Amino acid sequence: MTSIRKPVTRETATLARQRPLVVTLHPRFLVLREKGRRARYTVEYDAVFDLARKLAARVDRKGRW
Query: 7-46, pLDDT tens digit by residue?
Result: 999 999 999 999 999 999 999 999 999 999 999 999 999 9
Alpha-carbon distance 62 to 55, whole Å? 11
Query: What band does 2 get if pLDDT is binned at 50, 70 and 90?
Result: confident
Round to whole Å and give the CA distance between 40 and 34: 8
Question: How does strand 8-16 pair with strand 19-25?
Answer: antiparallel
For residue 31, how many other CB atoms are within 10 A of its CB?
A: 15
Domain positions in the chain are 8-62
Residue 59 has pLDDT above 90, yes or no: no
Query: How far is it, in rounded angstroms, from Cα 20 to Cα 38?
Result: 13
